[in-house]
């Protein structure tokens, strides 16, 4: 009861924003519910004169609920399917992730972008957009404004990809009788799941391929999602070492170890074992949907704690960094598909 008394106002406000944002995201998949929620939260927080009574609930949603969302995301991972797809797409996935992280690392100093924002943009661009940012933020101790900034950058290039990639694929000469090649491209070069879905579905519609492209793209995207595990572990280790070198003993690796990633792995194993013994993968669909809704809910909380004026003023350099990551990922994906004879 004490928990509810302290947190109910903030949680309720987040729900009021998240529920309509969730449904609007279904209507406008290119934008997605997470982006709508974070923008709505930014606007609403400007209208609130005093939200001190809501702060505990908003903070709880932005931190804990975000981690729960990542854990439940694991129920969408059949590791057998991931391994099968990985044999074909893994070289492309590894290279695109590596290139994006390296670009973010080197340009961060040259462009003088805060390290946490650059890390979130690099991870979000290379792995899986909002989900990767959600998993990484607590590990590097990023605040709400830094998360909001990274999400905004990822959203911008998600929309560009969904609009530009299908005509680009036609112009380059992707196979139009099968969705495999373009599916791999969409799955490796588009950031967020909602935009991967929108991009692949457009290609299916253009060439009457049913859901062939979509199925391939989503499976490749799920394979990319597994990169959350090593990335968060490495970031936790690097943060601990860096702060100890600076003479700060307040950070212990055990304390910032992303334990929720272990639950993410456990959820993936449960799904894999269940499917192996004949349980339909569709049984886990409600859990996957709940995961997506919790991400929308958490983005509403992050929006409520974000200064939109400050975000707009500081948005130029992060957008440029996101653009560099996006272009490099696209070029590397196309080059490797060509070299591997997949297009």
The tens digit of pLDDT for each residue in 89-108 reads 888 988 999 999 999 999 99
DSSP H or E segment with residue 301: helix 285-304
Q: What is the pLDDT of residues 139-197, one digit of tens each?
A: 888 888 888 888 888 878 887 888 889 989 989 989 888 888 999 999 999 887 767 87
Which residue did the predictor score with more confidence, 77 or 303?
303
Q: Tokens 């194993």 identify what position?
A: 269
- Cβ–Cβ < 8 Å for 156, 188: no
Q: How far apart are CA 253 and CA 312, in angstroms?
A: 34
Provide the total of helices (H) and of strands (E) in the chain, helices listed first: 17, 0
Q: How far apart are CA 86 and CA 223, in angstroms?
A: 7
Task: Tell me 211's DSSP state.
Answer: T
In the three-class reduction of DSSP (H, G, I as helix; E, B as strand; rest coil), residue 114 is classed as coil
pLDDT band at 38 (very low <50, low <70, confident <90, very high): confident
Residue 46: the pLDDT is: 86
From the CB of residue 101, how many other CB atoms can be counted at a distance below 10 Å?
20
Q: How far apart are CA 239 and CA 144, in angstroms?
A: 19
Q: How far apart are CA 244 and CA 93, in angstroms?
A: 33
Residue 311: the pLDDT is: 67
Residue 118: the pLDDT is: 93
CB-based contacts of 2: which residues, under 8 Å, 6+ apart?
none
Residue 153: the pLDDT is: 86
Q: How far apart are CA 240 and CA 252, in angstroms?
A: 6
Residue 128's nearest CA partner among 202, 216, 229 is: 229
pTM exceeds 0.85 for this model: no
DSSP H or E segment with residue 99: helix 79-111
Mean pLDDT of the chain: 83
pLDDT band at 258 (very low <50, low <70, confident <90, very high): low
From the CB of residue 183, how many other CB atoms can be counted at a distance below 10 Å?
29
Q: Tokens 């505990």 identify what position?
A: 56
Task: Tell me 62's DSSP state.
Answer: I
Burial grade of 250 (CB within 10 A; 0-12, 13-18, 19 or more): exposed
Residue 202: the pLDDT is: 82
Burial grade of 5 (CB within 10 A; 0-12, 13-18, 19 or more): exposed
- Cβ–Cβ < 8 Å for 72, 298: no
Residue 281: the pLDDT is: 78
Distances (CA, A) of 287 to 14, 25, 83, 146, 201: 20, 18, 22, 28, 23
Residue 233: the pLDDT is: 84
Q: How far apart are CA 164 and CA 170, in angstroms?
A: 10
- Cβ–Cβ < 8 Å for 199, 161: yes
Q: Given a cut of 70, is residue 246 above it in pLDDT?
A: no
Residue 256: the pLDDT is: 60
């Amino acid at each position: 009861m004490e928990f509810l008394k302290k947190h109910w106002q903030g949680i309720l406000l987040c729900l009021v924003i998240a529920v309509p944002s969730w449904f609007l995201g279904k209507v406008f998949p290119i934008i997605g519910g997470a982006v709508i929620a974070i923008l709505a939260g930014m606007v609403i927080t400007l209208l609130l004169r005093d939200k001190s009574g809501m702060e505990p609930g908003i903070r709880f949603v932005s931190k804990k609920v975000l981690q729960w969302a990542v854990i439940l995301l694991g129920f969408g991972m059949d590791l057998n399917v991931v391994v099968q797809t990985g044999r074909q797409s893994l070289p492309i996935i590894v290279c695109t992730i590596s290139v994006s992280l390296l670009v973010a690392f080197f340009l961060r100093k040259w462009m003088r972008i805060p390290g946490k924002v650059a890390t979130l943009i690099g991870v979000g661009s290379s792995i899986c957009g909002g989900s990767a940012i959600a998993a990484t933020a607590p590990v590097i101790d990023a605040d709400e404004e830094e998360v909001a900034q990274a999400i905004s950058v990822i959203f911008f290039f998600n929309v560009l990809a969904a609009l530009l990639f299908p005509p680009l694929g036609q112009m380059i000469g992707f196979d139009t009788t099968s969705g495999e090649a373009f599916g791999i491209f969409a799955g490796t070069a588009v950031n967020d799941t909602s935009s991967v879905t929108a991009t692949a579905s457009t290609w299916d519609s253009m060439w009457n391929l049913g859901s062939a492209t979509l199925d391939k793209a989503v499976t490749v995207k799920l394979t990319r999602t597994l990169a959350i595990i090593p990335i968060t572990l490495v970031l936790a280790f690097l943060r601990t070492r860096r702060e100890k070198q600076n003479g700060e003993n307040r950070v212990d690796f055990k304390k910032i170890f992303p334990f929720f990633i272990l639950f993410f792995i456990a959820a993936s194993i449960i799904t894999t074992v269940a499917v192996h013994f004949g349980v339909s993968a569709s049984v886990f669909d409600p859990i996957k949907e709940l995961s997506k809704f919790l991400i929308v809910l958490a983005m509403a909380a992050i929006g409520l704690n974000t200064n939109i004026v400050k975000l707009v003023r500081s948005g130029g350099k992060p957008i440029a960094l996101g653009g560099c990551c996006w272009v490099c990922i696209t070029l590397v994906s196309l080059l490797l598909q060509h070299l591997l004879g997949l297009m």
